[in-house]
């Protein structure tokens, strides 16, 4: 597997973040995961600014797992900004959040989320959900980002 970035996890809850990372790595679904805890850090990472100034922005993640209720800049605004930029508009973005509010779901799809998943509250269900999501987006789905195939 290459050293290219595979997943950007944007999750402010340290317990949820650790569980997601553990589920992905235990099932060999990602070797390289960057975990940031607020919306501004996610944007800084993607665009090589702030603490990530100088990062090679040509190496974008294969998948962004994005929580909604984030400090500094909320997930819906992060999604909107990602989709507004030519360099990131095709990124695979899965919303992974505790919100099952219809207005959040509609806003995320309106702004171009690829999927919206409500985090299960119990450990086993969360691990199973993350494993299923990881399997699909990392192993099955064909993406135009970092793809070596000619579709």
Residue of 107, 31, 115, 29 lying closest to 65 (CA atoms)? 115
Establish if 151 belongs to a structural domain: no
pLDDT at position 26 is 86
pLDDT at position 37 is 97
Establish if 63 belongs to a structural domain: yes
C-alpha span between 46 and 61 (Å, rounded)? 8
Task: Record the pTM.
Answer: 0.91
C-alpha span between 85 and 151 (Å, rounded)? 22
Query: Domain tally for the chain?
Result: 1
The answer to whether 73 and 39 are in contact (CB under 8 A) is yes
The CA dihedral of 102, 104, 110, 116, to the nearest 10 degrees, is -90
Range of the structural domain that residue 16 is part of: 7-136
Establish if 1 belongs to a structural domain: no
Establish if 147 belongs to a structural domain: no
Angle between helices 39-47 and 75-84 (to 10 degrees): 20
List pLDDT tens digits, range 65-82: 999 999 999 999 999 999
The domain that holds 89 is classified in CATH as 3.40.50.2300
Which segments of the chain have a pLDDT < 70?
1-5, 145-151
C-alpha span between 109 and 77 (Å, rounded)? 13
pLDDT at position 29 is 86
């Amino acid at each position: 597997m290459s050293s290219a970035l595979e997943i950007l996890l944007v999750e402010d809850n340290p317990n949820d973040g650790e569980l997601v990372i553990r589920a992905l790595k235990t099932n060999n679904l990602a070797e390289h995961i960057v975990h940031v805890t607020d919306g501004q850090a996610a944007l800084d990472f993607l665009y090589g600014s702030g603490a990530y100034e100088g990062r090679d922005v040509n190496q974008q993640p294969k998948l962004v797992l994005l929580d909604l209720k984030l400090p500094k800049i909320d997930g819906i605004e992060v999604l909107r900004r990602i989709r507004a930029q030519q360099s990131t508009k095709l990124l695979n973005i899965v919303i992974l959040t505790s919100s099952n509010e219809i207005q959040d779901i509609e806003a995320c799809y309106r702004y171009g989320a690829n999927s919206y998943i409500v985090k299960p509250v119990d450990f086993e269900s969360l691990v199973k959900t993350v494993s299923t999501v990881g399997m699909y987006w990392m192993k099955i789905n064909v993406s135009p980002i970092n793809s070596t195939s000619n579709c």
